[in-house]
Chain A
Amino acid sequence: MSPSRRESSSSVTAALARSRLGVWPLVWIVMAAAAPLTVVAGGATAGFAVTGITGIPLGYVVVALILAVFSIGYVAMSRKVVNAGAFYTYITHGLGKPAGVAGSFVAVVGYNLMQTGLYGGFGVAAHDFATAHLGTSAPWWMWAMLAWALIAFLGGRRIDLNGRVLAVLLIAEIAVAIVLAIVQVSHPAGGNTSFTTLSPGNLFTAGLGAALATAIAGFVGFEGTAVFSEESKDPQKTVARATYLALAIIGVLYAFCAWTMSVATGPDQIVARATSDGSQLIFNLSSPYVPAALITLGQLLFVTSLFAALLAFHNTAARYFYALGREGVLPSALGKTSPKTRAPIYGSLLQTAIALIVIATYMLAGWDPFTRMFFWLTVLGGVAVLILMCATSVSVLVYFFHPRHRDGVGTARGILAPALATVALGAVLSVTLVQMPILLGVGATSPVRWQLPGVFAVAAVLGAVWALVLKARRPDVYAVIGLGANSAVTEPASPLVTAGR
């Protein structure tokens, strides 16, 4: 589609553009999944505690920069590819269908790990809150099951949190996080404000990979902007601006809040305090200096933020199942919707079932819900997204390597940026895998260091093999891999399908 066509004075295109998403609604959608307070109070403190690395704050900055470079090519390709809904669409276009299906399986596993892990965080946060303020002492898993039942209901009926409710919660979360951070930075340990945790020297030590992987888990959800490329006012600009804006806001927020916690405890004490206080650290550090009501509000917002993230990732996982079911890659039942509510009903039910199994396993085995469930599973979800972003960068590079795809996309955006992103993300992925014991907080010889990331290797191999089986047995399904809902349109791939708006 040529830009000049878009600017023609068509009343149809103008009327449609008015009802489409602008930059800020897209930023809200992304930030709802990123759940700022979940990351600041939960992810960052668990990161300090489990990895023992003090460079977590800088990790957020470095990751935001790497993801910004990644987004250049990612967003450029979202304008070229029909139904640029998900990573696996890009991988299919760039690296072929077996790689695409492999990517889709990794994504399905990753987003489900992310979602189920959040139940651990929610259970603990709700338990802490109820114990402190409501005088009940129900165990974490009862709260997790309560959330699970609510998510099953809301997800199955495709009821999203009302946009305004979500916006109010998000603004409140961010406001509380900033106020607490300012309180912490104005009460530094020993009276001196230390920048140690932001110094590069501190990050590029033994725990680099662990700090970066922790940080990446906090950004998961930012990739959602591209899904809305066809729903946005101006696919050329809206998605790009929203993506960079979201990255900048959450990058600065995470880094600032994590840094101020280390200022308040003193860099040498942050790991010990994070270990002893867990997700309450951010509140405990500020409570002597602010009204108790603010702390209570913050703790409550931490719980709601986790819930919003649970719902967002439930819907993401259900959509993945739906898109794959619609294509026929997974059983076509998953592609069925509830016509009344537009819910991907079987995708939602499957995700709900998976979550139940995971919660029950942790409950029966008595494993720690905060470090082993919340941190391990969400960080592993982050590793999955890291793997997918690596593969996507390579795919973007390969895609734009063909000059016929490069119409309107310069060498810098189409070649240089994805090449740089591939190198950077590849480096992060390899140090993450090397430092897996630090990231998980286990011994260097522990078998889980290979078993947990090995899940993704198994998923990828199964995906690639399954693609080849489909090629041999069901060529009609193989033909539409990567098209998602657009697999219904099996006319020769016509770029015009999205053109002319």
Chain B
Amino acid sequence: MTLPHGGLRGRGWPLLADDMFRLAHRDSTGTPLLDPHVAGLGLAAALLGELLLTGHVSVRSGLVVVSDRAAPSDVLAHTVLDQLLSEREQHPVRTWLAYLGRSAVEEVAARIERAGHLRAEVSRRIFARTVRYVPTDMNTAAWPWARLARLLRRGGPLDDFDTLLGGLVVAADLHRVVLIGEADAFFTAMRPLLTAAADPIRELITHTRAAAGDAVITKT
């Protein structure tokens, strides 16, 4: 598995969830583009994906398996791995998505905020207190889409980081909001790459897609 390197994709640690978060929010205003539940599932999958990319975990027959107990250099990833390790038994991907998905949006937002790329704006309305995460720099926020779109237009393979990212976008149907008009082209370009992806990556993506799909059916 190729380790990603440098730039906005994380210095040393593959900040997959950060990019997923940026994709799932409007770059100018920070308005969420996904239903909160599905956003949680997508970000939970991205957090697992980070550990997958660094070889800390693997996905086999639908189960998340820890393969390297060494502490990750990223604090949030460290917390996630600790949670995985504290369970005596292995849980299915779907269970972890549901569990991590409950707080993933806030946790990933906090990580990006710590890095100085987001500013939390709290607004109080009559009934609820809502937090909107506004990007401090639109270019940084727009970078993942620009990169994915450019790579797909160029054709050819993506590395594991971008394959996972593109796959999670498809799993959450996110490309339909952002790439209006180009959504089908994006899907067509991603599909062969997902089919050819390594088994754990493909499994993580398909389980995320299934979880997001079930969330549509059982929304209460």
Rounded to whole angstroms, the CA-CA distance of A415 and B143 in the bound complex is: 59
Q: Are A319 and B216 in contact (CB under 8 A)?
A: yes
* Contact assessment for A158 and B219 in the assembled complex, using a CB-CB cutoff below 8 Å: yes
CB proximity of A384 to chain B, nearest CB, Å: 20
Point out the residues of chain B lying under 8 angstroms from A487, CB to CB: 210
Chain B residues near A164 (CB, 8 Å)? none
Q: Which of the residues B89, B94, B99, B172 comes within 8 Å of A498, measured between beta carbons?
A: B94
Count: A-B pairs, CB below 8 Å = 128
A10-B87, A486-B210 given as contacts; is B92 within 8 A of A500 (CB)?
yes
Let me know if A494 is at the binding interface, CB within 8 A: yes
B88 an interface residue at 8 Å Cβ cutoff? yes
- Chain A residues with Cβ under 8 A from B94's Cβ? 497-498
Which A residues are CB-close (under 8 A) to B56?
A: none
The reply to whether A336 and B61 contact each other, CB–CB distance below 8 Å, is no
Q: Which of B37, B95, B213 contacts A500 (CB 8 A)?
A: B95
Q: List residues of B (178-199) whose CB comes within 8 Å of A's CBs.
A: none
Contact of A488 with B210 at beta-carbon distance under 8 Å, contacts A342-B35, A342-B38 already known? yes
Q: What is the chain A residue whose CB lies nearest that of B213?
A: A485
B89/A500 in contact, CB under 8 A: yes
Q: Indicate if the CB atoms of A486 and B213 lie closer than 8 Å.
A: yes
| A491–B61 touching, CB < 8 Å | yes
Whether A12 lies near B37 (C-beta < 8 A) is no
Q: B220 within 8 Å of A by Cβ?
A: yes
**Do B38 and A339 have beta carbons less than 8 Å apart?**
yes
> Would you call A361 an interface residue if the criterion is a C-beta within 8 Å of the partner chain's C-beta atoms?
no
Candidates B83, B95, B206, B218; contact of A16 at CB < 8 Å: B95
Q: What is the number of residues of chain A that contact chain B, defined by CB distance less than 8 Å?
A: 50
**Contact status A485-B173, CB under 8 Å:** no
* Residues of chain B contacted by A498 (CB below 8 angstroms): 92, 94
A342-B216 in contact (CB<8A): yes
Within the assembled complex, what's the spacing in Å between the Cα atoms of A83 and B210?
Answer: 10
The reply to whether B210 and A485 contact each other, CB–CB distance below 8 Å, is yes
Counting CB contacts under 8 A, is A15 at the interface?
yes
Does the CB pair B218–A342 fall under 8 Å? no
Binds B, one of A203-211, A225-233, A420-428: A225-233
Q: Please name all residues of chain B whose beta carbon is closer than 8 Å to the beta carbon of A5 when the two chains form the complex.
A: 89
* Of the residues A319, A344, A488, contact of B206 by C-beta under 8 Å: A488
Contact check: which of B32, B99, B171, B217 meets A322 at CB < 8 Å? B217
Taken together as a complex, chains A and B put the C-alpha atoms of A230 and B215 apart, in Å, by 11
Closest chain B CB from A341 CB (angstroms): 6
> Known: A10-B88, A485-B210. Contact between A340 and B34, CB under 8 A?
yes
Whether B217 contacts A484 by the Cβ 8 Å rule is yes
- B174 with A339: CB separation less than 8 A: yes
Give the residues in chain B near A230, CB-CB below 8 Å.
Answer: 214, 218
Q: Which residue of A lies closest to B32 (CB)?
A: A340
Residues of B within 8 A of A341 (CB): 35
**Shortest beta-carbon distance from B68 to chain A in Å:** 20
The answer, yes or no, to whether A368 is at the interface (CB within 8 Å) is: no
Residues of the B chain whose Cβ atoms lie less than 8 Å from the Cβ of A340: 32-35, 177
Residues from chain A with Cβ under 8 Å of B171 in the complex: 488
Interface check B78, CB cutoff 8 A? no
Specify which chain A residues have a CB less than 8 angstroms from the CB of B98 in the assembled complex. 16
Q: Does B4 touch A at the CB level, under 8 Å?
A: no
A12 neighbours in B (Cβ, 8 Å): 83, 87, 91, 95-96, 99
Give complex CA distance A391, B107 in Å: 47
Cα(A228)–Cα(B94), bound, Å: 15
CB of B214 within 8 A of CB of A339, answer: no
Contact of A227 among B35, B176, B203, B218 (CB under 8 A): B218
Contact A21 B214 (CB under 8 A): no
Interface residues of B in 109-144 (CB under 8 A from A): none
Bound CA–CA A352/B91 (angstroms) = 41
Let me know if B87 and A484 touch, CB within 8 A. no
- Bound-state CA distance A311–B174 (Å) is 26
Q: Assess whether A331 is interfacial by the CB under 8 Å rule.
A: no
CB distance from A7 to the nearest CB of B (A): 12
Which residues A218-259 have CB closer than 8 A to chain B?
A: 227-228, 230-231
Chain B nearest CB, measured from A476 CB (Å): 11
The interface residues of chain A lying within 8 Å CB-to-CB of B203 are 489, 491
Q: Chain B, 67-97, contact with A by CB distance < 8 Å: what is the 0/1 string?
A: 0000000000000000100111111101110
Contact of B220 with A231 in the complex, beta carbons under 8 Å: yes
Docked complex Cα distance between A85 and B209 (Å): 16
User: Any chain B CB within 8 A of the CB of A160?
Assistant: yes
Interface residue? B102 (CB, 8 A): yes
Q: How far is the CA of A337 from the CA of B177 in the complex (A)?
A: 10
A131 at the interface (CB under 8 A from B): no
Interface flags, A427-471, vs B, CB<8A=1, else 0: 000000000000000000000000000000000000000000000
Q: Is B207 an interface residue (CB 8 A)?
A: yes
In the complex, A11 Cα to B209 Cα: how many Å?
Answer: 25
State in angstroms the CA–CA spacing of A391 and B217 once bound together: 23
CB distance from B191 to the nearest CB of A (A): 12
Interface flag for B66 (CB, 8 Å): no
Assembled-state Cα–Cα distance A338/B217 (Å): 13
A13 CB → nearest B CB, Å:
7
Given contacts A8-B89, A13-B95, A342-B216, 7 further A-B contacts (CB under 8 A): A12-B83, A339-B176, A340-B34, A342-B37, A485-B214, A485-B216, A500-B89
Residues of B at the A interface (CB closer than 8 Å) are 32-35, 37-38, 61-63, 83, 86-92, 94-96, 98-99, 102, 171-174, 176-177, 203, 206-207, 209-210, 212-220
A sample of 8 cross-chain residue pairs with beta-carbon separation below 8 angstroms, ordered by A number, consists of A12-B95, A15-B99, A326-B213, A339-B173, A484-B213, A491-B203, A491-B206, A496-B92
A-side residues, CB < 8 A to B, are 5, 8, 10-13, 15-16, 19, 21, 25, 29, 83, 85, 158, 160, 163, 227-228, 230-231, 319, 322-323, 326, 335-344, 484-491, 494, 496-501
